[in-house]
Amino acid sequence: MNTASATKVATPMPKLGWLDRYLTLWIALAMILGVSIGALWPQVADWQESMTIGSTNIPLAIGLILMMYPPLAKVDYRLLPKIRHDKQAIILSLVMNWLVGPILMFVLALMFLGSHPGYMAGVILIGLARCIAMVLVWNDLADGDREYGAALVALNSLFQIATYSFMAWLFISVLPEKLGYASTEIDISMGQITESVLIYLGIPFAAGFLSRTLLCKFKGQTWYQQQFLPRIAPITLIALLATIVLMFSLKGQMILTLPLDMLRIALPLGIYFVLMFSASYLIGRKLNIAPNKNTAIAFTATGNNFELAIAVAIAIFGLHSDQAFAGVIGPLIEVPVLIALVHVARRWQQQDKQATQQTAAQTE
């Protein structure tokens, strides 16, 4: 047995940046601030209407696009060849992300929110949006394969652009009615969803792709990774919190009902995150996928792109909608649950590595 391996000290867990570490707190404070503004200054609703053209609120649309830009600027599509030959792992990732995840969230939404169609649709939108931002943070903290995780994020970004419109139409407008939920009165066209996806995902995707391509060419990869990306990273949080403040400023009169509604939405989301991570990791373990790669696969399957879900919910159903409210609850629940799953991932990885070492020692 290799003595160095036996005495190797576990890698200390990387520290979460203070902005990300307290994300749940920032979201909660933004909700409280928004409700306070709505209660003290009811005229905020009139201002909101004056800044709206058609169904689009201009300041909010700008904020939502800015919210999506930093995550997409981080994506390095040159990493895709890293995973194309690893067929077993890539099949697992695609199945978990684009089949198991959407279906599981759909089932949980029907079970827990079938009598609340607006919240149900909002939760379904979250389940359809695969994570392209915070997943890199969770993967890093859990000591997953960084480049592998980034490659999976790049793959999910492309799939999201190609499939989100159709899947949202199918899971929100078609399947609920087929299953006897016709009374939900959710009737949206794929064209409506496509339009919002092109605006709120297409524009920041193009901006992110061009930023990486041009800035890396003229300023270099190191400058882009170490200087540019850290500078633009806070934009996502600022835009998200501004959106939450605005939404809750229009819901001041509903403050007494919000805690119960938040609990209704939180329950299926919490179950979803735990089941997705556990199922993905344990299946990967059965397939003998390397622990650090398995961790990357599990977190990309578990996390969700709540920025996109919020943007589409607001664009299709409106800022005042239950769907948009459900979208905002997404990160409030996701952050603490996934932080807990980081610890689970590191423990499981350690168990897998010890099992591998023991097997190797027995065969010597």
Q: What CATH number should be reported for the domain whose range is 23-354?
A: 1.20.1530.20
Quick one: average pLDDT of 225-247?
Answer: 87
pLDDT of the residue at 14: 58
pLDDT tens string 179-209: 887 544 555 667 777 877 888 888 888 999 9
pLDDT value at residue 64: 80
Tokens encoding 119 = 């919240």
DSSP secondary-structure letter at 173?
I
* pLDDT in the model for residue 255: 55
Range in 66-70, 102-106, 255-259, 332-336 with the lowest mean pLDDT: 255-259
Mean of per-residue pLDDT scores for the chain: 83
pLDDT score of 239 = 86
Is the CB of residue 97 less than 8 Å from the CB of residue 301? Answer: yes
Q: pLDDT band at 3, cuts 50/70/90?
A: very low
Q: Is residue 56 classed as helix, strand or coil in its secondary structure? A: strand
User: What pLDDT, in 10s, does the model give residues 292-324?
Assistant: 999 999 999 999 988 888 888 888 888 778 898
Cβ neighbors of 350 (< 8 A, separation 6 or more) are 10
Q: Residue 344: how many CB atoms within 10 A of its CB?
A: 16
pLDDT higher at 84 or 88: 88
Cα dist. 266→119, 241, 261 in Å? Answer: 11, 19, 9
Least trusted range by pLDDT, from 157-171, 198-212, 236-250, 340-354? 236-250
Q: Amino acid identity of 338?
A: L
Rounded to whole angstroms, the maximal C-alpha distance in the chain is 76
CA distances for 39 relative to 43, 48, 123, 173, 176, angstroms:
10, 15, 27, 35, 36
The answer on pLDDT for 12 being more than 70 is no
Instruction: Provide the pLDDT for residue 15.
Output: 58
Give the best-scoring range by mean pLDDT among 103-107, 118-122, 150-154, 358-362: 103-107
Mean pLDDT of 40-65: 74
d(CA 271, CA 283) in angstroms, rounded, equals 18
Are the CB atoms for 283 and 92 separated by under 8 Å?
Answer: yes
| Cα–Cα dist 275/292, whole Å | 19
Beta-carbon contacts of residue 221 (< 8 Å; ≥ 6 apart)? none
Spatial CB neighbours of 72, under 8 Å, sequence gap ≥ 6: 132, 157, 204, 205, 207, 208, 209
Q: What is the pTM assigned to this prediction? A: 0.80
- The answer, yes or no, to whether residue 259 has pLDDT greater than 80, is no
pLDDT in tens, 238-257: 888 888 887 777 665 555 56
Looking at per-residue confidence, does 36 or 110 come out higher?
110
Least confident of 103-112, 142-151, 291-300: 142-151
Q: Within its chain, how far is the Cα of 304 from the centroid? A: 2
CB of 351 closer than 8 Å to CB of 291 = no
Helical ranges in the chain per DSSP H: 3-6, 18-21, 23-40, 44-50, 58-74, 87-95, 101-113, 117-128, 134-141, 146-169, 175-178, 190-197, 203-219, 221-223, 229-232, 234-249, 258-286, 291-302, 306-317, 322-363
| Separation of CA 146 from chain center | 18
Predicted pLDDT of residue 8? 43
**177 pLDDT above the threshold of 90:** no
CA distance 134 to 304: 8
Cβ pair 100, 279 in contact under 8 A: yes
Where is pLDDT greater, at 244 or 283? 283
CB atoms within 10 A of CB 105: 25
Q: Which of 310, 1, 360 is nearest to 128 (CA)?
A: 310
Tokens of 128: 């359809």
Rounded mean pLDDT, 230-235: 89
* Closest by CA position to 75, among listed 196, 198, 15, 158: 158
Where do the domains of the chain lie? 23-354
Residue 52: strand, helix, or coil? strand
pLDDT digits (tens, 9 = 90+) for 324-339: 889 888 888 888 899 8
Does the pLDDT value for residue 42 go beyond 50? yes
